[in-house]
A and B are shown apart, each in its own frame.
Chain A
């Protein structure tokens, strides 16, 4: 259930709910000021998005009543992820309709005006994901930063080609050949998770997302090396053991010492040398990476311009760079900044804890001290760190009143632990699990500990919903087999494993009515997994228990038919070559057998095999189809359009 789907205390039309508690307080503060930074920082199910939508709707309604021209143009309302952003428009429209129907609404608006505002908002390019809003800004900036036309954003195939072109340019540059050799030696392809190409791509991404210069990146990488070798490379076994204890504890050190003593013939020197060598080679690799990276970045940007494609992070990067760098100073830049700042009076960011540094810096030029900014989020629900979310920005906004590069004169913060979503037993379970996590200096409180700040006390959640007569938390117990997460744990050869236990628990609960909905409808059940490893086993167990399962872990296009289509399209680039044809017929997804021999005898011509008529049934249909496609290659090339 999302934040917005939580049933409200005073549900009116269509899920509309009047704000209360911290929600109402931040709303009051928001509308009491002409400008400022307003932060609503609250836990799960606290109605953050409902608050954002309601304040947005009220903002529009007030401006409409006040005779402001095109009020929807003055509002920017974004969220980080696509799913959350998709619910923005319906949420605001719901709130507007609610205001129209609610005699006690904070603002008066007619049903007609509410509908009009909603319809106009649908066409706004200032509502949606942060990336979509930045895309609209970038349309005006693209030409200024070297693009002939507004590029295609997010085309992963195009970006893969750009990456390849940039690498080619780097490898052809003699000034970095030595550095490249060092990287290739340290990270040979095929042996580890990442090779030189992957490292460069990751470094580029890190620099762009976190707005680091190459020097900044080098500093951070050097800090990791020196953090791993605080006293430099070891010169003796004693120093190796000292580091072992430092990082793994006294017990581990003792174990290593015992192992060394047990092997009297062993020589400690190679161990010391290997460790010291690791430090030296690591440092050299950092140096090599930071030597190659600037060349790669330039080549990458050139390749982007040539291909007319960009990644979302590059859009944010270029917008921020355009507005920051002296080289781009112009009357047009001033005008563009004035256009946005002159029109935009309200900026609302939902799930603000997930905004990245790049996105923040790109939005910042559009905002000035006359704007009203509302940030809604929960530091503890930052789930996009892997996508370079920077929750510290939200922290600083909440605690210090600084955001978008502005120290806001008016700064209000409200927090809430009231949750409208979960029953009391569930909130108690959440508190039990998360209190030790968020107060642990090595886990949830690591940032505070690292910064030397006092670790805040955990604030338990407070459930608004009443408890149910029966339990809200159900535990499917089973006798343990093996380690948690192992195949034996999930589905042992004998006895009941986790998969079957869980399936039984859910199936019997549904059948017996133990899992009920207030509205009497049959509930759906969402099962969340930490890893995909054994998901299929659970799916099978659920199916065996008579449950119908929708497995959303399977990628939509991860289907043999799609694989076959891709293989054929790839083949059509050079359908008459042995190499391409062999690759096609060896593709697992292509539903035809016995073709290789026939192709060998037909000089690798699919057309010749088709004309010979020696295939049968479905195989013949596939081969005929391939031959037909090959014959029409001119049509395919033409319909792709000229290379303008």
Chain B
């Protein structure tokens, strides 16, 4: 076991996170907090401990925000942050004001600031990450800006002035600890005023570990800097790409001396490098590799596919894998706004929120599989088939005088009766639409928050009881549609809860009218600003994950896809001028050295992701890439591969793999890939 440090010290370890597993044990209460950046990292940690049959009651897996909030609660200080939706609402309101700070933002971003709210909010977040809103660090940032070339300096200073005013505005409107970037430093301050606060809040916990992070931003370093002097042993488990540069900056940011260790990295396997012509061919290569491993006796859980962004590969890999009858579980966020249950929800809100819906608005809910609550006793075959919806549309159009009539529900009911009388619609078919109209007329015109659940919960249940079985019956063997539908229903339930809570808050503050259209609008905000979990479709399938989520995972066979320059690593982006980004990253000046480096400002975290992805492999490792993208542009090999031992698989072996499924020698059995 690696030596631990003394209480009240900070120890940074770059490399092997395994020592964390060694410290897990049994305890009546957690003695160690483990903070990880991602939920999936916590899951991986639990999984590894379970594989080792290690008890883990001595560890509490949490995040820094929760720790800070508990400390502030113990100090009887405010600890409520606001979510991103509310923050954006406040940001838009502040940006609408006529102020000098906003004039400076206009010079930098353009005349319509509310339209640029997300970009400006991103700049605000970057400053928070770099400085924790500490005055000295803010001055350091201003000093760095002073050293920049003219235009870049002017841009930086204008943005800085603007976001500092924005922060003041947010504090006025939402409280002093409205964000994580303010909460953590506030907890640090409370702890510095009263170090005994830690014992009061966490009597049994004498250790804090921060693990698997690619960034230690200013707020986190503030908290750590206050936790250590409170007698807590702090360990930073850093990753090989970003770790060294984080460690280099720590002495500038902590008062306590930092002990640094670099553990010997586990040797990475020599990777077989396979090159395809196009992205689609690459997906077929990767799928062929997976299929070949499975045919050779590996179980699905023994094979792992890693990508810089698994969602980008979901479609092409799934299609390629289907040719081999291989099931993939792609751990990506479900794009819920593209699912039938969500579109049904949105179209029902649209129907209920309009006094005179058009024919399209009237039929949209049943187009998206609306099923009446308690439809079990109904003779109608729900959900309505495409043909039935088409018949209703044709029949109602036939009895309408204009091309796109907009009528009240009562008038549509009358129009429906006319269509039946004139034999444009069969009586049996009309019953289904009449059910929708009757149901809609029973819903409140101006909904209270509780109405969201009263109206939609029965629809979600009907979707689960009636529609989901029909999707299952018609689905292919991989049950992909069924899985997607079921996930969408679950997400919709969460969405109803979140939207209802938001609706209540905003009604109370007068920010929305009481209407179904406002509900729909809020739900849209929730869906677009609060990404869902990365979740998998089903078990007993080969996992396809973001490489960063391979942290602490192990699998005998790993296939890493997309090793193309510009894809992995991504181009570095910054909402600030590039000159500022470079100055902060370089950290050459004393002022720059005081600032934390935002994670997306360097390519170093791409190295972290790759290390996690490739490091998960215990027996064979393959990397794939393509030569030309879909635009026909030549794409170069990823520069990250320069530091990875590789052996290129020749073209004939690649074609043989595609044509016959024959695993290249470099990957067959233990074939040449030994550590």
Contacts of B636 in A (CB 8 A): 119, 122
Contacts of A334 in B (CB 8 A): 107
Assess whether B337 is in contact with A641, with CB atoms less than 8 Å apart: yes
Assess whether B151 is in contact with A631, with CB atoms less than 8 Å apart: no
Question: How far, in whole Å, are A630 and B383 apart by their CA atoms in the complex?
Answer: 14
Contacts of B103 in A (CB 8 A): 331
A546 within 8 A of B: no
B578 within 8 A of A: yes
Contacts of A90 in B (CB 8 A): 634
Please give the distance in Å from A96's CB to the nearest CB on chain B: 14
Question: How far, in whole Å, are A576 and B387 apart by their CA atoms in the complex?
Answer: 6
Residues facing A in B378-395 (CB within 8 A) are: 383, 385-387, 389-391, 393-394
Measured CB to CB, the nearest residue on chain B to A331 is B107
Assess whether B106 is in contact with A638, with CB atoms less than 8 Å apart: no
B424 within 8 A of A: no
Assess whether A575 is in contact with B386, with CB atoms less than 8 Å apart: yes
Please give the distance in Å from A240's CB to the nearest CB on chain B: 51
User: In the complex, which of the residues B109, B335, B367, B632 contacts A637, with contact meaning CB atoms closer than 8 Å?
Assistant: B367
A605 within 8 A of B: yes
Please give the distance in Å from A448's CB to the nearest CB on chain B: 39
Assess whether B346 is in contact with A642, with CB atoms less than 8 Å apart: yes
User: In the complex, which of the residues B339, B394, B474 contacts A576, with contact meaning CB atoms closer than 8 Å?
Assistant: B394
B112 within 8 A of A: yes
Q: A86-B633, A641-B338 are in contact. Are A143 and B387 (CB under 8 A)?
A: no
User: In the complex, which of the residues A330, A608, A642 contacts B387, with contact meaning CB atoms closer than 8 Å?
Assistant: A608
Assess whether A338 is in contact with B151, with CB atoms less than 8 Å apart: yes
B565 within 8 A of A: yes
Contacts of B152 in A (CB 8 A): 342
Measured CB to CB, the nearest residue on chain B to A641 is B338
Residues facing A in B595-652 (CB within 8 A) are: 632-634, 636, 639
Assess whether B524 is in contact with A635, with CB atoms less than 8 Å apart: no
Please give the distance in Å from B394's CB to the nearest CB on chain A: 7
Please give the distance in Å from B555's CB to the nearest CB on chain A: 31
B149 within 8 A of A: yes
A192 within 8 A of B: no
Assess whether B337 is in contact with A332, with CB atoms less than 8 Å apart: no
Measured CB to CB, the nearest residue on chain B to A635 is B340
A335 within 8 A of B: yes
Residues facing A in B33-90 (CB within 8 A) are: none
Assess whether B386 is in contact with A576, with CB atoms less than 8 Å apart: yes
B566 within 8 A of A: yes
Q: A335-B155, A634-B369 are in contact. Are A342 and B386 (CB under 8 A)?
A: no
A343 within 8 A of B: yes
Question: How far, in whole Å, are A339 and B368 apart by their CA atoms in the complex?
Answer: 49
B150 within 8 A of A: yes
Assess whether B639 is in contact with A335, with CB atoms less than 8 Å apart: no
B165-206 vs A, CB cutoff 8 Å, 1 = contact: the mask equals 000000000000000000000000000000000000000000
Question: How far, in whole Å, are A140 and B106 apart by their CA atoms in the complex?
Answer: 12
A65-101 vs B, CB cutoff 8 Å, 1 = contact: the mask equals 0000110010000000000001001100000000000
Question: How far, in whole Å, are A367 and B386 apart by their CA atoms in the complex?
Answer: 58
User: In the complex, which of the residues A330, A338, A607, A637 contacts B343, with contact meaning CB atoms closer than 8 Å?
Assistant: A637
Contacts of A331 in B (CB 8 A): 103, 106-107
Question: How far, in whole Å, are A605 and B394 apart by their CA atoms in the complex?
Answer: 13
Please give the distance in Å from A566's CB to the nearest CB on chain B: 19
Assess whether B116 is in contact with A119, with CB atoms less than 8 Å apart: no
User: In the complex, which of the residues A119, A332, A628, A631 contacts B111, with contact meaning CB atoms closer than 8 Å?
Assistant: A332
A148 within 8 A of B: yes
Assess whether A73 is in contact with B110, with CB atoms less than 8 Å apart: no
B83-119 vs A, CB cutoff 8 Å, 1 = contact: the mask equals 0000000000000000000010011111110011000
B342 within 8 A of A: yes
Assess whether A576 is in contact with B389, with CB atoms less than 8 Å apart: yes
A144 within 8 A of B: yes
Assess whether B386 is in contact with A630, with CB atoms less than 8 Å apart: yes
User: In the complex, which of the residues A86, A89, A143, A332 contacts B108, with contact meaning CB atoms closer than 8 Å?
Assistant: A332
Residues facing A in B347-406 (CB within 8 A) are: 367-369, 383, 385-387, 389-391, 393-394
Residues facing B in A603-623 (CB within 8 A) are: 605, 607-608
B533 within 8 A of A: no
Residues facing B in A50-78 (CB within 8 A) are: 69-70, 73
Measured CB to CB, the nearest residue on chain B to A644 is B524
Assess whether B111 is in contact with A144, with CB atoms less than 8 Å apart: yes
Interface hub of A119, A143, A330, A575 (most chain B Cβ within 10 A): A143
Assess whether A148 is in contact with B571, with CB atoms less than 8 Å apart: no
User: In the complex, which of the residues A140, A148, A628 contacts B110, with contact meaning CB atoms closer than 8 Å?
Assistant: A140
Question: How far, in whole Å, are A489 and B474 apart by their CA atoms in the complex?
Answer: 60
Please give the distance in Å from B112's CB to the nearest CB on chain A: 6
Assess whether A635 is in contact with B390, with CB atoms less than 8 Å apart: no
Question: Chain A binding site: helix, strand, loop or mixed by DSSP?
Answer: helix
B518 within 8 A of A: no
Assess whether A143 is in contact with B369, with CB atoms less than 8 Å apart: no
Contacts of A605 in B (CB 8 A): 387
Question: How far, in whole Å, are A455 and B265 apart by their CA atoms in the complex?
Answer: 74
Please give the distance in Å from A164's CB to the nearest CB on chain B: 16
Please give the distance in Å from A580's CB to the nearest CB on chain B: 10
Measured CB to CB, the nearest residue on chain B to A629 is B386
A325-361 vs B, CB cutoff 8 Å, 1 = contact: the mask equals 0000011101100110011000000000000000000
Assess whether A343 is in contact with B151, with CB atoms less than 8 Å apart: yes
A227 within 8 A of B: no
Contacts of B383 in A (CB 8 A): 634
Measured CB to CB, the nearest residue on chain B to A83 is B632
Question: How far, in whole Å, are A605 and B386 apart by their CA atoms in the complex?
Answer: 10
Assess whether A577 is in contact with B390, with CB atoms less than 8 Å apart: yes
Contacts of B149 in A (CB 8 A): 69, 342
Q: A123-B566, A338-B151, A605-B387 are in contact. Are A638 and B116 (CB under 8 A)?
A: no
Assess whether B151 is in contact with A634, with CB atoms less than 8 Å apart: no
Contacts of A634 in B (CB 8 A): 340, 343, 367-369, 383, 386
Measured CB to CB, the nearest residue on chain B to A575 is B386
B582 within 8 A of A: yes
Question: How far, in whole Å, are A450 and B514 apart by their CA atoms in the complex?
Answer: 71
Q: A342-B149, A576-B389, A633-B386 are in contact. Are A69 and B579 (CB under 8 A)?
A: yes
Measured CB to CB, the nearest residue on chain A to B385 is A631
A639 within 8 A of B: yes
Question: How far, in whole Å, are A123 and B638 apart by their CA atoms in the complex?
Answer: 13
Contacts of B579 in A (CB 8 A): 69-70
Question: How far, in whole Å, are A338 and B219 apart by their CA atoms in the complex?
Answer: 35
Please give the distance in Å from A550's CB to the nearest CB on chain B: 16
Assess whether A70 is in contact with B578, with CB atoms less than 8 Å apart: yes
Q: A637-B343, A638-B368 are in contact. Are A123 and B571 (CB under 8 A)?
A: yes
Please give the distance in Å from A222's CB to the nearest CB on chain B: 39
Measured CB to CB, the nearest residue on chain B to A642 is B337
Contacts of A338 in B (CB 8 A): 150-151, 154
Measured CB to CB, the nearest residue on chain A to B528 is A644
User: In the complex, which of the residues B338, B386, B639 contacts A607, with contact meaning CB atoms closer than 8 Å?
Assistant: B386
* Subset of 26 A-B contacts with CB under 8 Å: A119-B636, A119-B639, A123-B566, A143-B110, A143-B112, A143-B116, A330-B106, A332-B107, A335-B107, A338-B151, A339-B155, A342-B150, A576-B387, A576-B390, A607-B385, A607-B386, A607-B387, A608-B387, A634-B368, A635-B481, A637-B368, A638-B342, A638-B343, A638-B368, A642-B338, A644-B524
Ranked 10 nearest A-B pairs via Cβ:
A576-B390, A342-B151, A331-B107, A638-B343, A638-B340, A633-B386, A123-B571, A639-B338, A338-B151, A332-B110
Interface positions of A (Cβ within 8 A of B): 69-70, 73, 86, 89-90, 119, 122-123, 140, 143-144, 148, 330-332, 334-335, 338-339, 342-343, 574-577, 605, 607-608, 628, 630-631, 633-635, 637-642, 644
Interface positions of B (Cβ within 8 A of A): 103, 106-112, 115-116, 149-152, 154-155, 335, 337-340, 342-343, 346, 367-369, 383, 385-387, 389-391, 393-394, 474, 481, 524, 565-566, 571, 578-579, 582, 632-634, 636, 639
A331-B106, A335-B155 given; name 11 further pairs at CB < 8 Å. Answer: A90-B634, A119-B639, A122-B636, A143-B110, A148-B115, A339-B151, A342-B150, A575-B386, A608-B387, A637-B367, A640-B338
